[in-house]
Amino acid sequence: MNKQTDFWSRVFTFLPTPTKDAGESIDEKRLLEEIDFQIANGVPGICIFGSTGGNGSFSDEEMRKTTAAVAKHAAGRISVVVGTGARTTSECISLSRHAQDVGCDGVMILPVSYWPLTEDEVLTHYERVSAAINVPICVYNNPWTTGVDMKPDFLARLAELDNINCIKESTGDLSRISAIRRLVSSDVTLIAGWESTCMQAFMAGAAGWAPVCTNFAPKLALQFFDAATRKRDAVLSRDLWDHLFPLCEFICAKSHIRVAHSGLEIVGRPVGPPRAPMKGLSADDRAKLSSILTLLDNAVSAKPRVAAAV
């Protein structure tokens, strides 16, 4: 199939998975409301059940039901990507096929395992998943959560598979985007995955973005993305990034999922807690986040609006 690199060259908001009943069940109604918020603010894509969405915290049945509901609700109004990383290859294939069958636009897959995986095991995993589905696949390198660090030369091998057309690089190593870009074809999109270094990643050639900050300041974030990746305007990018950076830095320091759940409660769009044993932010960190969000809101209110192509 075609690499479809243009599909990934956009913003995909990583949504938290709203919960109710003290975190014990998914609040589907609230999730659909958050998707509508993204659509209303012009965001072109979302990812559910990513790291911010509590990947690994929900059963296969819960994920399937919610994925189907999201695809139906989105109805082509916004691109839907699903995190289908799972502990076994067969489970990952099953979740990925389901996402494809219900109409999702792509899947994002990280190698999940209790045991550290060898490169040969990871390669075979992606080969089998790639052969089982037709939708675009983004390989997600996040050693902070998986314990598996896929180095640039290995990621380039994975990118040779037909429908692997995107790499989300989330090590935070500023040299990785350049190293990967030099090894893969122009048909492969690189996504800036470590929130606090995304400006540098865009300057190095990343063309897609998978942020959490768009849960809070989507329009400002879209303007920044457009300035950095399409206009290639370093001065404007820096100006916009200065407003977003404190939040993005805090997200990386305190974890994407905790900041997303706690932050949305602070701004009046509560999505419940992450599923136990995870908790929201501590009282001190909530106070810090509240101050950051207040400053960001003031910046958004004061910032003149410019059109952003997405």
pLDDT attached to residue 81: 98
Q: Beta strands 25-26 and 106-109: pairing type?
A: unpaired
Residues in the chain predicted with pLDDT less than 50, given as ranges, are: 1-3, 307-309
Is 151 tagged catalytic?
no
Of 65, 140, 254, 288, which residue is the catalytic one?
140
Alpha-carbon radius of gyration of the chain: 18
pLDDT attached to residue 260: 98
**Residues whose CB falls within 8 Å of the CB of residue 147, separated by 6 or more in sequence, listed in order:** 116
pLDDT attached to residue 307: 46
| Contact present, 55 and 67 (Cβ < 8 Å) | no
Domains of the chain and CATH, by start: 5-302 (3.20.20.70)
Tens of pLDDT along 58-100? Answer: 999 999 999 999 999 999 999 999 999 999 999 999 999 999 9
Element (H, E) at 92: helix 89-101
**Residues whose CB falls within 8 Å of the CB of residue 7, separated by 6 or more in sequence, listed in order:** 79, 105, 106, 136, 165, 166, 189
Of 3, 126, 168, 254, which residue is the catalytic one?
168
pLDDT attached to residue 145: 86
pLDDT attached to residue 275: 97
Is 140 tagged catalytic?
yes
Q: Edge-to-edge strand order for the sheet containing 164-169?
A: 12-14, 45-48, 79-83, 106-109, 137-141, 164-169, 189-192, 208-209
